[in-house]
Amino acid sequence: MWIFFLKFLLRSRVFPRSEADFKAALAVAQQALVELPLTGEISCSTPDDFSRGCKELWGSRAETFKGLDFGEDWVAQMKAEEKIVELSEEKQPGTANADLPDVNESEQASEPQQEGGVSWGHSAWNGGEDSGGGWGEPSIGWGNGGDEGWANALELVHEEEAAADAAMWETPPEERPFVMRLMGPTLLPLTHTTGVVEQSLRRITDLIPIPTNIPPKPAVAQDEPIVMDPAGVEAELETQFPKVVLSPWLNWDGGELPEFSEPRILDTSQGAVVDPPYATRNEGDAAPATNAHDPGNDSITVLVQQEVFDKLLKGMCLAGIWVQIIRQPIEPSEEGPAKKKRKGKKKAPANFWYMEEVSGVFPSYWTTKST
């Protein structure tokens, strides 16, 4: 509707002095016609199966609620206070029952009264003659092994858990939410782990599809030992997943959404990161000679599945938690048999990331409110 209205104003030259502004508004409206439906589609499809598989493989890297760590001194003090309370109660044995009415010995010795044919005496609680099965009855006791006992109930719970574990392993591979369902047999769990964990909003600056000129994999003999080759695993990732380059966008909201207004490195992060506050470098400034991750300037390359890649557009923004995939240190014994050294430069580790959470999707024309 707005597109037709803006076109009418421009075609009729209703505001000739403001035609440039109306043309800019028309471009935004046309862009919104494409990007607004995509915000919902991207939100529903992210994180994808690859990211969920990485989360299952290495565990959640998002911050969770932590229990209070009380320390040994506090625990010892609480135990001492409990002992003091017990000693004070022993010195005054009648204090606890001081408010109860006095009961004559004759009333205590008499048989308990019945109401409605039910006896409320001792026998009704622990399986006496009038109880018909009480707390101490063998068929429904707390600690016995009968059909309705707690011991048998715990045994049934363990059997159900074992059956559930067995069912999980018997599940067909195509039904498992795991990276091996997408990549097949891979050494990724052995060669890589998680690195920097960043919570921020970033803008899509480049979309890199899967390369088309992929050479075929060399044949591997069955008796050939397994070689831990992180570079080979990264090449395998590159040939199976498209890449999305995300660049930082600082102070994007003008303070409207403080959780993502500035990048934040979570406590679960591993690896070197520059110290905050984060600021964007000027064009003429040289990058510091360090390998530390700079959330204010460094771009990240996120691996996604093809169905998510097809929905993304340059300029759109994603807010979420980004987890870096880094190489694990490989022991010499795991490198396999000695091979002839090849001439040339050793391939540097790839800067691959995955998305653990996506909290917001914003169109490219998003602007902050004017102050």
- β-strands 243-248, 192-208 pairing: antiparallel
Which one is predicted more confidently, 223 or 240? 240
What confidence tier does 6 reach under pLDDT thresholds 50, 70, 90?
A: confident
Question: Residue 107 contacts by C-beta under 8 Å, 6 or more apart in sequence?
Answer: none
CB atoms within 10 A of CB 356: 23
pLDDT(4) > 90: no
What confidence tier does 246 reach under pLDDT thresholds 50, 70, 90?
A: very high
* C-alpha 327, offset from chain centre: 21
69-78, 128-137, 269-278: least confident range: 128-137
Mean pLDDT rounded to a whole number for the chain: 74
The β-bridge partners of 357 are 321
The whole-angstrom separation of Cα 193 and Cα 328 is: 6
34-38, 74-78, 100-104, 238-242: least confident range: 100-104
Domain spans in the chain, listed from the N-terminal domain onward: 1-45, 48-62+178-281+291-336+346-362
Q: Return the pLDDT at 140.
A: 44
Nearest Cα to Cα of residue 300 among 276, 335, 326, 277: 326
106-110, 260-264, 346-350: least confident range: 106-110
The whole-angstrom separation of Cα 249 and Cα 274 is: 17
The percent of residues in the chain predicted with pLDDT above 90, rounded, is: 27
Class of residue 61 by CB neighbours under 10 A (exposed 0-12, middle 13-18, buried 19+): buried
Q: Which residues of 115-128 are buried (b: 16+ CB within 10 A; e: fewer)?
A: eeeebeeeebeebe
Q: Return the pLDDT at 340.
A: 47
From residue 267, alpha-carbon distances to 169, 186, 281, 357 in Å are: 33, 29, 26, 16
pLDDT digits (tens, 9 = 90+) for 101-156: 554 544 444 454 544 444 444 444 444 444 444 454 444 444 444 445 555 655 66
pLDDT digits (tens, 9 = 90+) for 154-191: 566 566 666 655 555 455 555 554 677 778 778 888 89
13-27, 194-208, 213-227, 356-370: least confident range: 213-227
Nearest Cα to Cα of residue 278 among 257, 293, 263, 289: 263
Q: Return the pLDDT at 125.
A: 47
The β-bridge partners of 193 are 326
